[in-house]
Structure 1
Amino acid sequence: MGKLQDKVAIITGAGSGIARAAAKMFAAEGAKVVIVDKNGELAAKVEQDIKASGGEALAVETDIADEAAVEAMVNATVETFGGIDVLFNCAGGSLQNDAPTTDVDMSIWNVTLDVNLRGTFLCCRYAIPHMKARGAGVIVNTASWAALNGKLKKHIYAAAKGGVISLTKGIAGEYSPHNIRANAICPGSVRTERWLANSDKKTNSTGLLQSLGEAYPFSVGDPEDIASIALFLASNDSRMITGAVIVADGGRSAF
């Protein structure tokens, strides 16, 4: 029996990066995985990969900032698999033009808040009633080390991820009587396709950054590093953990 045997798990942003790694990991542990991504082609490819490995999956093209689209995605999940047990909100990211408060263009505000905070909120809003009907559930939200540290000069992204942490704690307290747990992961730099594309300091084919490697103990992480934490939080192995903020940045914010 897998750690998520017969559980129904929605994973947002699962067409690539951390969420894609999590989708495949959750499926390998027995979950029925709903692959949510704004890019329908990427989502469909992950669905195909999971099914080819003997797992169950459903790809749903969704803009998580669109309330009607999120509601439709959640309804499709319930219609296909009968309920919702796990929600891993992983879609998000920063914009290259994000900047300190007095310098940033205000056009960055809505886009950053929509994908990082509004999308997380909407997915929780529509998934929680189905978890309550199930009698239990687990929510794993993706925040960032940036929400815990004043060094990053992307202030809007940091604010959005700080909001994710506060939302997570509120959900954990409010819905604990319904056996719903909620925790947040704060990754540091992770070697995803997007991260590599945005980096101007790639030094070799593995994408390691010498400057970051010197800055904190464990250098740049891999998508599977964060996916493994999400799996732990989604499973009964973490049944005593809720309202927690798990920092997974290789020590970047600690030293």
Structure 2
Amino acid sequence: MLLDGKVAVIYGGGGKVGGAVAGAFAREGARVHLAGRTAATLDAVAARIRAAGGAAETAVLDALDEAAVDAHADAVAAAEGSLDISFNLVEPGVVQGTPLAGMSLADFEGGIHRALRTLFLTSRAAARHMVPRGSGVILVFGGHGPPTAGVGGLQVALQAQETLAQALAAELGPHGVRTVTLQTGGIPESIPADLPIRDEVTAAIEGATLLGRAATLADVGDVAAFVASDRARTITGSAVNITCGATAG
């Protein structure tokens, strides 16, 4: 198994993407720790993992809370003996659909602040345990694509996260810690079912690809498991493109 014996913390582990990644990690032998703000969704993901023979623990946690993030990472490392993989999949809650010129400052900067704060705090907490061991993987989700109208501060947030990921890779690389972004062009399965323009958004995502289809949640989980494994030990400071060709080159 790709991740046999590894310990992974997934922030936002109760969400659709977080659940898919957690399931893939567990199937590959990792012990997964799911962190998020809603106990019910975390417990549901953990129950599926355990029913399939995997190992999962849950913790109700706000990834914006510095003390809580640090304490949780410390507790996981103390209980497990290591913290090998950290993946921040917390939704930034970006306001979309309003032109930038008509958007309030609060709506524009809110998601950017949340995206950067959660990534910084979770990555720092993990790095403090990975560096002394000389190994570890920090994963970042949703690298930016071509300029898109109507998405508010989303692309700004994603570009900022990717820049932070590259800075982490430069600083942590000499200590054996890798940082990799999974660049997606959108995952239709993760779009809320009650979104009025869900079909239009899905069509736009799929229409922009070279393959005529978008990555699935299962695809994201499978690629994340590979990137987090030692088989991808040469990859750091870059984005792994799983956009089905929407972002080529």
Query: Following the alignment from structure 2 to structure 1, what is the Cα–Cα distance between the partners of residues 183 and 24?
Result: 19
User: Which segment drifts farther, 160-169 or 76-85?
Assistant: 76-85
Q: Does 1:215 align with 2:208?
A: yes
Query: Which of the numbers 177, 181, 189 marks the counterpart of 2:178?
Result: 181
Query: Which of the numbers 235, 240, 244 marks the counterpart of 2:238?
Result: 244
Q: Which residue of 1 aligns with 2:119?
A: 120
Task: Tell me which stretches of 4 or more aligned residues in structure 1 moved more than 6 Å.
Answer: none
What does residue range 1-255 of structure 1 map to in structure 2 within 5 Å? Answer: 2-97=1-96, 99-144=98-143, 147-198=144-195, 200-202=197-199, 209-217=202-210, 218-254=212-248
> For the Cα contact (< 8 Å) 2:94–2:152, is it kept in 1?
no
Q: 1:190 to 1:199 in 2, by over 3 A?
A: farther
> For the Cα contact (< 8 Å) 1:101–1:155, is it kept in 2?
yes
Taking structure 1 as the reference length, the TM-score comes to 0.88
For 1:57, what is the secondary structure of its paired residue? strand
Q: Shift in Å at residue 199 of structure 1?
A: 5.2
Query: Following the alignment from structure 1 to structure 2, what is the Cα–Cα distance between the partners of residues 198 and 4?
Result: 36
Query: Following the alignment from structure 1 to structure 2, what is the Cα–Cα distance between the partners of residues 53 and 214?
Result: 35
User: Which segment drifts farther, 191-200 or 109-118?
Assistant: 191-200
| Unpaired runs of at least 5, structure 2 | none
Query: Following the alignment from structure 1 to structure 2, what is the Cα–Cα distance between the partners of residues 34 and 80?
Result: 11
For 1:198, what is the secondary structure of its paired residue? coil
For 1:126, what is the secondary structure of its paired residue? helix
Query: Following the alignment from structure 2 to structure 1, what is the Cα–Cα distance between the partners of residues 151 and 202?
Result: 19
Query: Following the alignment from structure 2 to structure 1, what is the Cα–Cα distance between the partners of residues 205 and 134?
Result: 44
Identity %: 27
Cα deviation, 1:100-156, whole Å, max 9, x if unaligned, reads 432222222443024322101100011101001222101111133xx2321243241
Letter in 2 for 1:92: E
Q: Shift in Å at residue 43 of structure 1?
A: 0.8
Query: Following the alignment from structure 1 to structure 2, what is the Cα–Cα distance between the partners of residues 143 and 215?
Result: 16
Q: Shift in Å at residue 193 of structure 1?
A: 4.2
Query: Following the alignment from structure 1 to structure 2, what is the Cα–Cα distance between the partners of residues 219 and 119?
Result: 30
Query: Following the alignment from structure 1 to structure 2, what is the Cα–Cα distance between the partners of residues 6 and 197?
Result: 39
Q: Shift in Å at residue 187 of structure 1?
A: 1.0
Provide the aligned length of Structure 1 versus Structure 2. 248
Letter in 2 for 1:202: D
> For the Cα contact (< 8 Å) 1:138–1:234, is it kept in 2?
yes
Query: Following the alignment from structure 2 to structure 1, what is the Cα–Cα distance between the partners of residues 34 and 119?
Result: 15
Taking structure 2 as the reference length, the TM-score comes to 0.90
Query: Following the alignment from structure 1 to structure 2, what is the Cα–Cα distance between the partners of residues 215 and 149?
Result: 10
RMSD (CA atoms): 2.2
> For the Cα contact (< 8 Å) 1:65–1:114, is it kept in 2?
no
Q: 1:210 to 1:159 in 2, by over 3 A?
A: closer
> For the Cα contact (< 8 Å) 1:140–1:185, is it kept in 2?
yes
Letter in 1 for 2:151: K
Q: 1:76 to 1:114 in 2, by over 3 A?
A: farther
For 1:102, what is the secondary structure of its paired residue? helix
Query: Following the alignment from structure 1 to structure 2, what is the Cα–Cα distance between the partners of residues 92 and 43?
Result: 15
